[in-house]
Amino acid sequence: MHNAALAALGLNWRYLAFPVPPDQLREALAGAAAMRFVGVNLTVPHKRLALDMMDQLDESARAWGAVNTVRFEGQRADGTWQPIGQWTEPEEPARVRMHGFNTDADALLQALAEDLQWQPRGRSVLLLGAGGAGRVAALKLAASGVARLYLVNRTLDKARAVAEEIRTRYPECQVTLDYPHEPVDLLLNATSLGLRPQDPLPLDTARFPLRLAAAVYDMIYRPAETPLLQAARAAGQPAANGLSMLLYQGTRALEIWTGQPAPVAVMRRALMEHLHVA
């Protein structure tokens, strides 16, 4: 989607993927800065590791405790900093810093609103998974006014840590570490269960039947139809996959790097063509 967007914007840039071991992330980022990269995206397991490696943190990265977008900025002759992708000085920058952002949290709410016409304030949510993606989702939902949040995670300690963080930062949100005994407004899957066709459902339907969820969102975008989404639709519930979340975290990242509005339609079309989503 990024290369399609860069072509549409007429930018002579290229978006590439580089596998980087976690213990070499600092060196990889320093190398990207030295080569005057415009920016990078980070995925699991780098998002939390990168926090302490940034020279500057946007409020989004500070709030959610994770960095998925880095913008490299050069120091101008007057001492101010300018994004490398928007550099206007005649000379190349002598000094470069790393500015960290998080575009995942806002992308989730934008996707929920677009795909399911779902708004968080006053609602109840069953969240499956309290790892990296689940933690950011939980914090964003609590910050956005969700009234009741039910956390279910394979490792109880991880879910407990997220619950304690929410209780400290957003005490108005009621957090429960278990399945609800009543219907919820949204069931959100932030686990990796569903990436393979043979995966089991990420929830125990004996503890919580799918018919009790007014809507279902699965952050997984490939395959487009996970077992959870198949089961939700079979139960007659509105459901959506993570394609729009992927799209909107990408459009925001592109805007951070370029300073220009992202060509959303171009990026969506490229995603759907590449991921074979009907």
**CA–CA dist 88, 85 (Å, integer):** 9
Closest CA to 112 of 144, 153, 135, 68: 144
User: Based on the number of CB atoms within 10 Å of its own CB, is 76 exposed (0-12), middle (13-18) or buried (19 or more)?
Assistant: middle
Q: Out of 2, 47, 140, 252, which one is annotated catalytic?
A: 47
Q: How many CB atoms lie within 10 A of CB 205?
A: 12
- Identity of residue 221: Y
Is 47 a residue of the active site?
yes
DSSP H or E stretch at residue 149: strand 148-152
Burial string for 100-139 (b: 16+ CB within 10 Å, else e) reads: bbbbbbbbbbbbbeebbebebeebbbbbbbbbbbbbbbbb
**Mind telling me the catalytic residues?**
47
